[in-house]
Amino acid sequence: MRCPKCGSLEDKVIDSRSSKDGGSIRRRRECLECENRYTTFEELERIELRAIKRDGRHEPLDRHKLLNSIVKACEKRPVGLEQIEEAVGEILQGLEADQTREIPTSTIGAAVMEKLHSLDPIAYVRYASVYRQFQEIGDFIDEINSYEKRAVRTAAQPELFTAS
């Protein structure tokens, strides 16, 4: 860090404090040249994802909204909030790993369904039916269908092996 007073690049950290959620760190530093003390603030760099709707409108991908939609699908199911939080984290990580920052809502929906499919079958069906109601017939349905075909194929696979 460059000392704001004298411009020296030599400093030492005299105190580090993590924020409550662990997402940021505040550091007290002291310049080795002039002994000026100053504070730096480090934050985890989050990749800003945007959701693109079918009509072409964009909006920031809202983690909270995503979480709520899954919580709703898992209502009265044996799925804990911690599991859901973890699932949301994994879904977002998966989306962040893609090359694009602008993600069609259909892709987000498909990622959620894939996760729910392994989490709880009832929650999966609920989520799918809600999305079927609200989304226009189109890409999204195609995506669900192709996912379901893949899922069925995967589920059928062990039988293929044991049958022979």
Residue 11 makes contact with Zn ion by CB under 5 A = no
Residue 6 makes contact with Zn ion by CB under 5 A = yes
| Residue for token pair 């669900």 | 144
Strand order in the sheet with 37-43: 11-18, 24-31, 37-43
Toward Zn ion, which CB reaches closer, 36 or 83?
36
Contact pick of 25, 27, 28, 33 for Zn ion (by CB under 5 A): 33
Contact pick of 36, 120, 122, 141 for Zn ion (by CB under 5 A): 36
Q: How far apart are CA 30 and CA 4, in angstroms?
A: 11
Toward Zn ion, which CB reaches closer, 6 or 155?
6
Residue 14 makes contact with Zn ion by CB under 5 A = no
Q: How far apart are CA 40 and CA 29, in angstroms?
A: 7
Total residues at interface with Zn ion (CB under 5 A)? 8
User: Residues with Cβ < 8 Å from 45, sequence gap 6 or more?
Assistant: none
Residue 34 makes contact with Zn ion by CB under 5 A = yes
Toward Zn ion, which CB reaches closer, 28 or 126?
28
Residue 3 makes contact with Zn ion by CB under 5 A = yes
Q: How far apart are CA 74 and CA 120, in angstroms?
A: 8
Q: Which stretch, 31-39, 46-54, 127-135, 144-152, contacts Zn ion (CB under 5 A)? A: 31-39
User: Residues with Cβ < 8 Å from 41, sequence gap 6 or more?
Assistant: 24, 25, 26, 27
Contact pick of 29, 31, 105, 127 for Zn ion (by CB under 5 A): 31
Whole-angstrom CA distances from 47 to 65, 96, 97, 98, 138 are 17, 7, 10, 11, 29
Q: Which stretch, 4-12, 61-69, 111-119, 124-132, contacts Zn ion (CB under 5 A)? A: 4-12
Binding-site ranges for Zn ion (CB under 5 A): 3, 5-6, 8, 31, 33-34, 36
